[in-house]
Amino acid sequence: MSIYWLLAIPVLFILVIWNNKNNQHKLRNRKGRNFRQGYFEKKKEKDEFND
């Protein structure tokens, strides 16, 4: 039973590190975005599509 714990802990640790890297990458991409600019661009595209 203890051998399962010895295998599970490193795997979980690697998953946590991988998830943290993904979250940091998303956060960096999110900082560069401008909500107002994106909103008006999407609104413009939506209006053009509906016409």
pLDDT of 17 strictly over 90: yes
Task: Give the span between the Cα atoms of 43 and 37, in whole angstroms.
Answer: 10
pLDDT on residue 51: 64
User: Where does the pLDDT of residue 21 fall: very low under 50, low under 70, confident under 90, or very high at 90 and above?
Assistant: very high
Per residue in 26-45, pLDDT tens? 887 777 778 888 889 888 98
What dihedral do alpha carbons 45, 46, 50, 51 form, nearest 10°?
-40
Task: Give the span between the Cα atoms of 15 and 21, in whole angstroms.
Answer: 10
Please indicate, yes or no, whether the overall pTM of this predicted structure exceeds 0.75.
Answer: no
Mapped onto helix, strand or coil, the DSSP state of residue 32 is coil
